[in-house]
Structure 1
Amino acid sequence: MSYLIRSSKVISALLLAFVITGCATSQRMSSEDKARIKSTQVSQSVEKGQVFLLAPGGAAVGMMFGAVGGAVSGGMVVDAQTAFVNYLNQNNISIEKLVQQEFENALRASGKLSIATSADAGIPTIKLSVPQYGFGVTHLLSSNVVPVLQMKADMVDDKGQTVWSASDRMLPSIASPMTAIAWAQIQNDPKEIEAQLRAAAKYLSNKLVQSL
């Protein structure tokens, strides 16, 4: 019982931190900007924020990531996050690349703006950021997790003015738009981890592009 109480407090604190971190207000394009802007370029640099990792109660997070995770001691939140980041790097999983690819796919599919194939200082640039990413249990007693992701996009014109801005996120919750997956299914399976993060990036990219 004491373990559940401690776990509940940790979960509450982490979820509160997640809610507070990176909140942004969307800025829609004006009718004038929509009339004049027909193409854009997407910055190759994607800003990455902190990891959110909340495993089922009692899970040996340190051992989840094979040899890399096994070298991390304790099971503290920071240690688990470090192990997760190291595991992604070791398996060439880049949340920045996934977000950029899925956002560009969503923008092309929408037909709202064309994407310039070469750098052009005269057209706006969309800058993407990922304030938070990772995985979390859907509720305290669950052994299932869902991707956790927050994305932000800002379009800046050639004068340095922001003409469009949008932000969205998905929380670790039973209300998540992603299908929950057993924690055991992503243990030591980098392909599944990448697939889950890509699906989350695709979902949020489509939502962001809808606001253009």
Structure 2
Amino acid sequence: MSVPIASLPVAQRPRERLRLLGPHALSDSELLALLLGQGTRGRSALEVAAQLIGDYGGLAELAAARPEELAARAGIGPAKAATVVAAFHLGTRSRTSADALPQLTAPDGIAAVALPLFAGARVERLLVLICDTQNRLRHRAFVAEGAIDHVAVPVREILNTVLRHDGRAFAVVHNHPSGDPEPSIDDRRASTLLQQAAATVGLRYLDHVVIAGDSWATAAPLV
């Protein structure tokens, strides 16, 4: 029979353990249970959390889950799904924002910045890396998300995003969930369009990098 968290001894409740011992003392399931807040009929938040992690095969896989996918699961729903997704993304942002601002002078530097942001992604996403006049990274922004093998390149939205954040230069990065980083002809056409469009509004186009897992390649503009 399921035991509600409120019925557990105080010293075994995740919230009290966090307060007394700190977050490092809690298991993954306990931390996730705190985000969920409540369980469902017949199952405590701890049980729902443990099953969720088990079904996905670990935290890294759970972090890649889409909000609507989580919301459809029993005991989760839209509000809890949004909380879980937001928590994972805050964790990612806190790790990346703590780093010194890198200067993006070469494709390998662009890839190094982008790789952690695509960890576990199962659909194509398009990232814009916005830089200042010295190519120092100032802001990261995802501007598009597509199906399993395609994401449109919204040139106008990319340029507007750079200008909105007072950027002077930018690079774009997208992923290939197929596992092959080799740029397609469409990827290279997109590079050409971005290079030309950037010049018309006084922005400096740096590069277009394609990521697949831990590998990457540059999508050079078509000559």
TM class by smaller structure: under 0.3
Bigger Rg, which one: 2
Higher normalized helix content (fraction of residues)? 2
User: Larger relative CO (CA 8 A, sep 6+): 1 or 2?
Assistant: 1
Higher normalized strand content (fraction of residues)? 1
